[in-house]
Amino acid sequence: MKAPPFAYVRPATLDDVLGELAGGDAKVLAGGQSLVPVLAMRLGRPATLVDIGAVRELHAVESRDGLRVGAAVRQRTIERSAEARAVPLIGMALPFVGHRELRSRGTVVGSLAHADPAAELPAVAACLEASIEVAGPAGRRTVPATEFFTGAMTTGAGPEDVVVAVTFPAARPGEGFGFAEIARRHGDFALAGVAARVRVGADGAVEQARITGFGISDRPVTRDVTALVREHPTEERLRPETARLAAEVVDTGGDAHGSTGYRRRLYGVLAARELAAALRRARTSTEEAA
């Protein structure tokens, strides 16, 4: 199917982008890797596509307080950048986002704005408590990633808003991460996946543990599991606990690729494995820093 007719504009400033979005019948075009298929399937009919690629400030990658990624920065740029190594979870997740060709067009922020419940980067943002900067008719605001995703393909950004950037906190000594997903084929969206973050003190004791599941609900689902990891610090001991957690957090309906029960099983197994791996890495990073 062909896309319905639309106008195309490529403003050079953020103010002009906002001007074009005013009225709510226009859509931001970032990498086009999700938007163009949506148009081709006629699931959306915006009057205008507002290409943000010519807005220079949106191409910036900064590593002052964590990693700040502008809205026009491609996923592949981050995958290859030295600055991004400060945020190991992004490096662990990006290879699972489609294929390299898609990542060379798709943007990090576009994935957050699109908010597919099975997408990897929204889960990374939620797990790390990233900050998302949004500009709109009423000015700029910063939304915590944990509040940004409000449902399937729905976020705290409205139709007249543009997401300007995301800032991921850099890993600190004593932090370790885990990431895994199960998909039918490499490059497909996840049937179920998890991102994990564990922080330990100088003595190796667990100070904080968080896990975010994706592909399991209508948005990334994050839980503080500090007490759980403290009491059950091995994969074997975590397994029954994460199976119980899966029963609580996995509420997506079954489909042709897997039932709800199957996804709960995947989540439970992956969660135990990646939390244990994150704990091991956290302890190694404390030893290396000592």
Angle at 62 between CA 224 and CA 113, to 5 degrees: 55
Considering only 92, 163, 171, 277, the residue that binds ligand FAD (CB under 6 A) is: 163
Residue 9 lies near ligand FAD (rule: CB under 6 A): no
How near is the Cβ of 216 to ligand FAD at its closest, in Å?
Answer: 15
Q: Which two tokens stand for residue 181?
A: 């997903």
Cα–Cα distances in Å, from 21 out to 43, 111, 166, 209?
19, 19, 20, 40
Provide CB contacts within 8 A for 86, sequence distance 6+: 63, 66, 67, 170, 171
Residue 27 lies near ligand FAD (rule: CB under 6 A): yes
Question: Listing from the earlier edge strand, what are the strands of the sheet with 48-51?
Answer: 7-9, 48-51, 26-29
How near is the Cβ of 284 to ligand FAD at its closest, in Å?
Answer: 29
Alpha helices in the chain (DSSP H): 14-21, 35-40, 75-80, 88-93, 100-103, 108-114, 120-128, 145-148, 226-231, 235-249, 260-289
How near is the Cβ of 178 to ligand FAD at its closest, in Å?
Answer: 18
CB under 6 A: which stretch of 3-11, 26-34, 83-91, 228-236 binds ligand FAD?
26-34
Residue 180 lies near ligand FAD (rule: CB under 6 A): no
Site string for ligand FAD, 44-83 (x = CB under 6 A): --------x------------------x------------
| Of residues 87 and 163, the one with the C-beta less far from ligand FAD | 163
Tell me which residues in 101-160 interact with ligand FAD (CB under 6 A). 102, 106-107, 109-111, 113-114, 116, 119-121, 157
| Of residues 116 and 235, the one with the C-beta less far from ligand FAD | 116
Cβ–Cβ under 8 Å, residues 222 and 212: yes
**Residue position matching structure tokens 């001007």:** 19
- Residues 213, 233: Cα–Cα separation, whole Å: 19
How near is the Cβ of 244 to ligand FAD at its closest, in Å?
Answer: 28
Considering only 97, 194, 200, 272, the residue that binds ligand FAD (CB under 6 A) is: 97
What residues line the site for ligand FAD (CB under 6 A)?
Answer: 27-35, 37, 52, 71, 97-98, 102, 106-107, 109-111, 113-114, 116, 119-121, 157, 162-163, 187-189
